[in-house]
Amino acid sequence: MGDGRASTIASVVAPRGPPPVLVPRPVLAPPPVVRAPTWKEQRRGGVVARVVGGNGLSSVTPAAAARAAVRSSPRRSSRRRPDLAPPPSDVAHVAASSSNSSSLFPRGTAGMTLDGGVALDGDAAGGGGGATRSPSSSLLPFQANRGARGRTTVGWAMAIMLQPVLPFLLLVLAASAAAGLPGDRTLVFILAGQSNMSGRGGATSGTWDGVVPPECAPSPRILRLSPALRWEEAREPLHAGIDVGNVLGVGPGMPFAHAVLGTSGKVPPGAAAVGLVPCAQGGTPIANWTRGTELYERMVTRARAALDGCHGRGELAAMLWYQGEGDTMRRDDAERYQGRMEALVRDVRRDLGRPDLLVVQVGIATAQYNGKFLDRVREAQKAVTLAVPNIKYVDAMGLPIASDNTHLTTQAQVQLGNMLAKSYLETL
């Protein structure tokens, strides 16, 4: 009796059949997230974008990154869906790289587009118009979306690749658009020597009169290398921040650039802009420009930085040299001028890797502090032209001189710039 009751209770309590098997629910991997790489990743491997997925971190191309972004978005419907874009934290912005972002972009580039998709507003382009932007404000974000006319804009991942070279590209593209030229190369010219190269036109009375002739007006096609080694739109005084400690005015650089670009039939194919590298320093004898001196090393450093800043789109065209007044006061300096000038040309060509670099030197017309050896220096300059290949000679004698009997007037600088351009164009 007792055993039967126990078996009955056991049959009620015990479950019938085999115990259930619990199957764990599968864990779904999160959708891939597209993010911009760090600068270290870019420098280390040139990675454009990376996808973080279930299998870890893997490098992909820009096209694969765009496909991943599309796959992670909602499925296409019959209605037009909103523009695709990466998360706000992943949108690549191109920020201004200095406290004064307008110095990177020439005026007149407002509304300019890059590859038909990326626009510059007025302030980011240095145009001065539009809403007020803070110094650290960025350009429009490069997003993987569609423009108002249905054209796909530059992908945000591509913006990461363009960021290091974007300022220079914008300047050159603006110059090319203004010129109506298909090319995008920049002709780079070194401007070296003393005060008549840096320019004292309109500035011989202790202050600059501020007069800028049309031949010296700013242009998006004419750039200068700033003291901070960055390309910017050139304007008078061209040597501002370079020829320190002196009152500066108009020099030959701007009219030279205008004259070069104005003769379209002579400009090398593909040249869209002229890049000027001001290096002159007033009151300096040629001994201060020998290899190893501060002025020489600064000139070479600035020339290299100018070419590096072109990112493969620049061509070192010539060195314009106007110096010698400081060597007219002592006989020894005048007699040694030819040897020092020949050594300077040889060293510059070697250090810049251009053994055939064109040098256009200006024959001086005045002497510093009424030096007695003006004619001796002029003879040495002419002798250098005959002794060293690929050196051109332009004579400043006869150009208008200011009341200080040393410096060229503004109009004389315009004439000299045209003469230098003519001499350069004759070599093409």
Which residues are catalytically annotated? Answer: 195, 404, 407
CA distances from 273 to 175, 232, 329, 393, 420 (A): 6, 12, 39, 24, 17
* The two three-digit tokens of residue 330, written as one number: 């002592």
Q: Are 403 and 410 in contact (CB under 8 A)?
A: no
Is the peptide bond preceding residue 86 cis, with omega within 30 degrees of 0?
no
Distance CA 143, CA 387 (A): 59
Could you tell me which residues come within 8 angstroms of residue 3 by beta carbon, excluding any fewer than 6 positions away? Answer: none
Q: Are 409 and 400 in contact (CB under 8 A)?
A: yes
Distance CA 259, CA 414 (A): 10
CA distances from 219 to 86, 225, 261 (A): 38, 14, 11
Residue 40, phi-psi category: left (phi > 0), alpha (psi -120 to 50), beta (remainder): alpha
Sheet holding 185-193, edge to edge: 231-233, 222-225, 271-278, 185-193, 314-322, 358-363, 391-395
